[in-house]
Amino acid sequence: MDVLLTGGAGFIGSAVAARLLGDGHTVRVLDALLPAVHPGGPAAVRLPEGVEFQHGDVRDAAAVARALDGVDAVCHQAAMVGLGLDFDDAPDYAGCNDLGTAVLLAGMNRAGVRDLVLAGSMVVYGEGRHHCAEHGEVAPGPRVAAELDAGRFEPPCPVCGAPLTPGLTGEDAPADPRNVYAATKLAQEHLASAWARACGGRVLALRYHNVYGPGMPRDTPYAGVASLFRSALARGEAPQVFEDGGQRRDFVHVGDVAAANAAALDALAARPPGSSRAYNVGSGEVRTVGEMAAALARAFGGPDPVVTGRYRLGDVRHVTADSSRLRAELDWRPRVSFAAGTAEFAGAPLRGDG
């Protein structure tokens, strides 16, 4: 299959490119090489031998048309990620993620390309599934700065104020985006679904949980927490853990995410035209942010993490994946354990390291 991979020069995209090429697909990469992630520009791009690279932005209809020429399917990874610095980043997020996706989908319609694997995110759920002993499954309310300032990080029941028990979040959970990035990722899914219905397309959206592994970008306002910890260790500094470190996450290795993309691409042909379906992509191992910092510090040889009590209001406390749908329907299994993955990542170079 001839595949267009947008954002294919990035952290996840380059892993997907290698996997698809290894599976026998022909891969063409379209990447804008945004300076925040690719400070070295085109000269610093490192892709597997045999991958065709085109430097272009998904917001540019002409660049998209050239990239779509002759392809059978699109794997759309291009996005601006992370929480950024503040709400002033909102136009950039909406432009990169939503306008870019709309331009790509319009181009696919004109080119007659009907199959799409979309990189989604667990951030669309906001806070994950929570259970109150008295009121059952509930959605925690917005975070309150005064409570966080007092060190009360756990969300209470919005009805009675009692402690909640966090659980796994399935794809049928209501969407509740709690920051700009999350809102743009949900909008991407809605745009793709609307395109599928209008144009007879087929969409599989992969809602990534916390992806980590070799090739993560060095610490920027847009980097993931594992990258921030790993960058601090490389500087000889203690990883700075926000809140009390008890935030529950599902850290999934980038190699397993690449395998999920390959499985989704293979499954598209069996999907009916006009359809879209979402899948969580998680390891199935619930870990805390503090555990990730401690595991990396041990594997790296220190220094030990420091719990700061600081917070970001746009963060969520707990969100972990129920990935049983992906396992059952696409026969996907995570292969890299938390222990093996963090040990590997502790010694791996980050993107931008020399």
Which amino acids are annotated catalytic?
A: 181
Partnered with residue 115 across adjacent β-strands are 202
Q: C-alpha distances in angstroms, 332 versus 17, 218, 236?
A: 18, 29, 38
Tell me how far apart the alpha carbons of residues 38 and 53 are, in angstroms, rounded to a whole number.
Answer: 15
User: What are the structure tokens assigned to 74, written together?
Assistant: 């699109």
Residue 220, classed as helix, strand or coil, is: coil
Helix (H), strand (E), coil (C) string for 29-41: EEECCCCCCCCCH
Whose CA is closest to 348, among 211, 212, 215, 210?
Answer: 215
Strands 130-132 and 165-166: antiparallel
CB 229 within 8 A of CB 269: no
User: What are the structure tokens assigned to 2, written together?
Assistant: 């001839």
Name the residue type at position 253: H
